[in-house]
């Protein structure tokens, strides 16, 4: 018989979103897409994750946002994994649009162009993915899952794992940005080896 949790458990009301009731750890990425007028759009996303071991990437968005609409039209998008030092820049990418639908902040952010897809990268990130649309998974409440196939990927040399470099040294020297939804962030510069069981395989 299993023992009860040592902490008191509180039932959460499923009549509304539960995710604002506690903190959870997410990445913070910036999605770059091409607007219908040829300009670029940047938008931070945190519900973002590899979708397979075969180089697929996905994130959650709403069809009401230009990010979704741009990807639906262009079938492409770019992904920047931001560094802790870029938290403010990534946050600024969420600035609301003007009444005329424009988003001037995008022009003010430091960016560079992908090589194979339409969109934009946030300059000085550590990982850059270029994706072609694989599929939409719609009607997840008001949201959709957008899945892309990675067609190109580049990483900062300082963030690349190698056999002659200790993983903890890498993370200490090149910290990771963690978004603690809904309203905090953290810089990860310390980590520990996970104790996998003997014989564990992916």
Contacts of 122 (CB under 8 A, 6+ apart): 30, 32, 42, 80, 82, 86, 89, 90, 93, 109, 110, 111
Instruction: Give the number of other Cβ atoms within 10 Å of residue 20's Cβ.
Output: 10
**What is the average pLDDT across 138-154?**
97
CATH number of the domain where residue 142 is located: 2.30.110.10
Confidence category of residue 97, pLDDT binned at 50, 70, 90: confident
Domain of 161 in residue numbering reads as: 23-188
Query: Which H or E run contains 69?
Result: helix 66-74
Residue 2 lies in a domain: no
CA distance 145 to 59: 6
Q: What is the pLDDT of residue 68?
A: 98
Contacts of 41 (CB under 8 A, 6+ apart): 32, 33, 34, 35, 66, 67, 70, 103, 106, 120
Q: What is the pLDDT of residue 7?
A: 85
**What is the average pLDDT across 84-110?**
85
Residue 108 lies in a domain: yes
Structure-token pair, residue 8: 């008191």
The per-residue pLDDT of the chain, averaged, comes to 93
Q: Is the pLDDT of residue 188 over 70?
A: yes
147 exposure class (CB count in 10 Å sphere: 0-12, 13-18, 19+) = middle
Residue 177 lies in a domain: yes
Residue 17 lies in a domain: no
**What is the average pLDDT across 178-196?**
93
Residue 200 lies in a domain: no
Q: What is the pLDDT of residue 2?
A: 57
State whether residue 109 is helix, strand or coil. coil
Domain count, the chain: 1
Residue 10 lies in a domain: no
Q: What is the pLDDT of residue 3?
A: 60
């Amino acid at each position: 018989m299993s023992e009860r949790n040592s902490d008191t458990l509180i039932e959460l009301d499923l009549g509304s979103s539960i995710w604002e009731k506690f903190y959870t750890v997410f990445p913070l990425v910036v999605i770059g897409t091409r607007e219908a007028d040829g300009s670029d759009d940047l938008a931070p996303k945190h519900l973002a994750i590899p979708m397979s071991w075969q180089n697929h990437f996905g994130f959650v968005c709403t069809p009401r946002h230009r990010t979704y609409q741009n990807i639906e039209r262009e079938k492409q998008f770019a992904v920047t994994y931001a560094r802790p030092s870029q938290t403010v820049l990534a946050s600024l990418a969420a600035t609301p649009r003007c009444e005329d639908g424009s988003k001037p902040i995008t022009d003010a952010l430091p960016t560079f162009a992908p090589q194979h897809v339409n969109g934009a990268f946030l300059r000085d990130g550590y990982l850059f993915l270029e994706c072609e649309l694989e599929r939409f998974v719609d009607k997840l409440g008001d949201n959709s899952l957008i899945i892309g196939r990675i067609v190109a990927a580049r990483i900062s040399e300082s963030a690349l794992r190698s056999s002659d470099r200790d993983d903890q040294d890498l993370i200490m020297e090149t910290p990771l940005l963690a978004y603690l939804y809904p309203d905090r962030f953290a810089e990860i510069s310390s980590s520990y080896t996970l104790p996998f069981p003997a014989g564990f395989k992916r």
